[in-house]
Amino acid sequence: MKTEKVSKSIAIGLVIWLSLSMGMGSAGTLNSVKVTAAPVIDGTPEAIWDQATAFTVNVAGGANTGANTVTLKSVYTDDSVYFLATWNDTTESLRRLPWQKQADGSWKQLITPDAKLGGENTYYEDKFAQIWNINTTEFEATGCTALCHINENADVKAFGNKYTPNPGEMADLWHMKIVRTNPTGYVDDQYVDSARYSKDVPDAGRHSDSGGSPYSDNINAAKNAPNYTSADQPAPPYWILDDQKQPFKDTYNANDEIAAIIVRPPTGDRADIKGKAVYKDGMWTLEYGRKLNTGSKYDIQFTDMNKEYVWNFCFVVSCTV
């Protein structure tokens, strides 16, 4: 089974506006078109998307492809907004930190030796993320630069920190994780605030919305083997559905791999964003959407049809954000 290399592509400082109107909008605006029926969120676009105008963004910096072209469309109904994103990727990266049986019968979790926090660069998953501004004053001028503090705490972290500049400021982070959330049909709903890094707060300002997590680690109490398996193991797939997990019984052969993640639908505020991505012929296709107004203080609310909403790519392929 081949090892998949990390590709990290981030468009820093790229500000894009979402206009929920039939108007053309200004340069750098993704126009969301009103439709009468919602698209089916299954990663397979239907004819409804032909009504929307494509918006293209080029991102660069990846170790795999070096550059990616992301094409976006958006439609909305009376109560919800939806997005279609497609981008090129030479590898479908799913082999996220699996357990592998060794020749001596022991189990080893595959991980890059001495990798810093957030710096796994061999055994990881494809991801895609957007950051929406809620009330961060510098965001409209500088985009992700206002939140992304690269190389901070470089002694322990690979990619720095995310946080807003000032107390009380927040941004809404929509985070598709191909192994951890895509199998159950969700985009992880997260947010960014002004918290700084510490040993007790390793993710700094990046947090998950309240509610049940869509995933958990598959590891036993001794931390030396999987805790669960399922009828579709050994991997792939590199996830185990929570309602299909079984107590781990070692009937496997040397070099067999077991998924390191248990997945389930999220609950509460964390379950606001439905999403599904499909990989085919070197391209990812992602459909996703949520209510215009979720009522949560941690979410951007699309309640004014005459307003443009600003967001920024934190686009990632096989990488942490």
Question: Which of the two residues, 121 and 250, has the higher pLDDT score?
Answer: 250
19 in a domain, yes or no?
yes
Element (H, E) at 205: none
Asked if 246 and 131 sit in the same domain, the reply is no
300 in a domain, yes or no?
yes
Question: Which of the two residues, 55 and 233, has the higher pLDDT score?
Answer: 233
Rounded Cα gap, residues 301 and 132, in angstroms:
10
Alpha carbon dihedral 295, 299, 305, 308, in 10-degree steps, equals: 160
* Inter-residue contact 177 to 169 (CB < 8 Å): no
Asked if 52 and 140 sit in the same domain, the reply is yes
3 in a domain, yes or no?
no
Which residue segment(s) compose the domain that 281 sits in? 15-89+126-208+273-313
Asked if 252 and 135 sit in the same domain, the reply is no
pLDDT at 62 over 60: no
Asked if 130 and 73 sit in the same domain, the reply is yes
Asked if 286 and 307 sit in the same domain, the reply is yes
pLDDT at 65 over 60: no
**Confidence category of residue 19, pLDDT binned at 50, 70, 90:** low
Please list, residue by residue across 96-131, b when 16 or more beta carbons sit within 10 angstroms of its beta carbon and e when fewer do.
bbbbbbeeeeebebbeeeeeeebbbbbbbbbbbbbb
47 in a domain, yes or no?
yes
Assign residue 44 the CATH number of its domain.
2.60.40
Asked if 154 and 250 sit in the same domain, the reply is no
Rounded Cα gap, residues 32 and 34, in angstroms:
7
Q: Which residue has the tokens 């994780």?
A: 177
Asked if 132 and 32 sit in the same domain, the reply is yes
* Inter-residue contact 225 to 241 (CB < 8 Å): no
295 in a domain, yes or no?
yes
Can you give the pLDDT at residue 82? 96
Based on the structure, what is the number of domains in the chain? 2
4 in a domain, yes or no?
no
Out of 243, 264, 285, pick the residue that ends a domain. Answer: 264
Can you give the pLDDT at residue 5? 33
Asked if 303 and 186 sit in the same domain, the reply is yes
Rounded Cα gap, residues 207 and 191, in angstroms:
5
From 5-19, 229-243, 267-281, the region with the lowest mean pLDDT: 5-19
Taking residues 95-122, report their average pLDDT: 92
Bridging pattern class, strands 107-109 and 127-133: unpaired
2 in a domain, yes or no?
no
Asked if 81 and 163 sit in the same domain, the reply is yes
Rounded Cα gap, residues 105 and 256, in angstroms:
11
Asked if 75 and 23 sit in the same domain, the reply is yes
**Confidence category of residue 66, pLDDT binned at 50, 70, 90:** low
Asked if 83 and 225 sit in the same domain, the reply is no
State the distance between the two ends of the chain, measured CA to CA, in whole angstroms. 26
Asked if 142 and 173 sit in the same domain, the reply is yes
**Confidence category of residue 106, pLDDT binned at 50, 70, 90:** very high
pTM to 2 decimals? Answer: 0.90
**Confidence category of residue 29, pLDDT binned at 50, 70, 90:** confident
50 in a domain, yes or no?
yes
